[in-house]
Structure 1
Amino acid sequence: MSHCLMTDGCCFISYTVTTSECVRHRKWKGYKSGISSSFWNPLTEDGCPCGWYKFQTSCFLIPDVQLSWHDSKEYCQKLDAKLAELDTEPKDVFVVDLIKKGTEKRTWIGGSDIDKEGSWTWSTSGSLLNITHQNWAKDQPNNQPVDSDCLCIGTWYRYRWDDNTCTYTGAFVCEKTVRNRPQYIKSHALSESKALG
């Protein structure tokens, strides 16, 4: 792997075991994991991976792919991240500003009441949504259509929270903790059916 070095302008590298081939990439957009065995990306000066946005102690990414809530959660986990947990108003405002830069109508974040109807928790930490912050749209959550168990931010509610059917596809926000430099992050390969954004 000595020939597989990061260089200026390189956002991350992918490596394929079967061919012993490394490819340097300048951006996440358009990258498909295909048969890549793994990939690495460097931390920027602010402690976030290239292409991620820092806010306080977290890094955020909105991949360029639309998935169901469950597939979005899995996708973030493969990036050593989680679906975003917007547990404070400043974090919520920051993420909404990121979402507004795109055109998606539905953007998944990490809350659900899958385990118990009406008991909304953040999927990774297990914390209740209403403990420190909540931003529900008027008359939400309402479990309509039936089995709306996953949390999204909807443009139809002026970027406020809505419960929605988990199988619908949409954009999503991944979150990970800021890390100290210098460090390279090795992540698990993504399945070939899911593209990195």
Structure 2
Amino acid sequence: MQLLNCHLAIQTMAFLRVFLLLGFVSIGFGCPNGWLTHNNKCYHFSRETETWLGAAQMCAFMKGTLVEIETKDENYYLKAQASTTRHGDFWIALSDVEEENSWRWMISSTPAANETFTDWNPGQPNNSGGQECAALHRDFNYSWNDDDCRTNHYYICEKSNSDNTQFIG
């Protein structure tokens, strides 16, 4: 019996070596638990609320960043996911805190006006009462809305899926 087990182990090792040498095996760890995968990115939709700065800090704690929406496809995906959570508004990394009425993605410093699209709800941003941070707003079908950065909202973190994947071979 021991000889049979040894023989099977040798065959299994030989089989794995062939796949490794040919480069057919990749070990993808994917996104961490509690994160969703979409187009090589991982997204975390919080279940707790934070201020905008607190949300950014929580994302950093989870080795991610507050989400920057780069494409219409990504925006559509995030809105669809946010609507399934049955939560409220979700902070995103868009703010005019550095310069009034100059909305920038805070991680990349890219002006939102340079994007090929924006998804502001009509009449937004209105900077009412010093609103300097943006969120996906539930009452506006998760379109963008400016809000007071000190308000507690849910938040969306992102990180690259490639940070969590190792390829062998």
| Same structural fold, with TM-score higher than 0.5 when normalized by the shorter chain | yes
Kindly tell me: are residues 138 and 46 of structure 1, through their superposed partners in 2, closer, same or farther at Cα, counting changes over 3 Å? Answer: farther
Q: What are the superposed Cα offsets for residues 109-167 of structure 1, whole Å, 9 maximum, x if unpaired? A: 110000000000111111111222310000110001x1100000111212110000001
Matching of residues 141-152 of structure 1 within 5 Å: 141-144=125-128, 146-152=129-135
Which consecutive residues of structure 1, in runs of 5 or more, have no partner in the other structure?
1-43, 184-197
Which has a greater percent of helix?
2
Q: Report the secondary structure of 1:151's partner residue.
A: strand
Shift of 1:174: 0.2
Matching of residues 1-197 of structure 1 within 5 Å: 45=28, 47-132=30-115, 133-144=117-128, 146-179=129-162, 180-182=164-166
Return the alpha-carbon distance in structure 1 between the equivalents of residues 29 and 123 of structure 2. Answer: 39
Question: Would the aligned equivalents of 2:37 and 2:43 in 1 still touch at CA under 8 Å?
Answer: yes
Return the alpha-carbon distance in structure 1 between the equivalents of residues 43 and 88 of structure 2. Answer: 19
Identity within the alignment, %: 24
- Computing the radius of gyration from Cα coordinates, the structure with the larger value is 2
Return the alpha-carbon distance in structure 2 between the equivalents of residues 149 and 64 of structure 1. Answer: 23
Return the alpha-carbon distance in structure 2 between the equivalents of residues 55 and 46 of structure 1. Answer: 14
Question: Would the aligned equivalents of 2:89 and 2:142 in 1 still touch at CA under 8 Å?
Answer: no
Which consecutive residues of structure 2, in runs of 5 or more, have no partner in the other structure?
1-26
Shift of 1:46: 6.4
Q: Report the secondary structure of 2:127's partner residue.
A: coil
RMSD: 1.7
Q: Which runs of 4+ in 1 moved over 3 A?
A: none
Report what 2:23 is aligned to.
none
- Where relative contact order (Cα < 8 A, 6+ residues apart) is larger, the structure is 2
Q: What are the superposed Cα offsets for residues 156-189 of structure 1, whole Å, 9 maximum, x if unpaired? A: 2121100000011011000001125349xxxxxx
Return the alpha-carbon distance in structure 2 between the equivalents of residues 159 and 100 of structure 1. Answer: 7
TM-score, scaled to structure 1: 0.67
Report what 1:11 is aligned to.
none
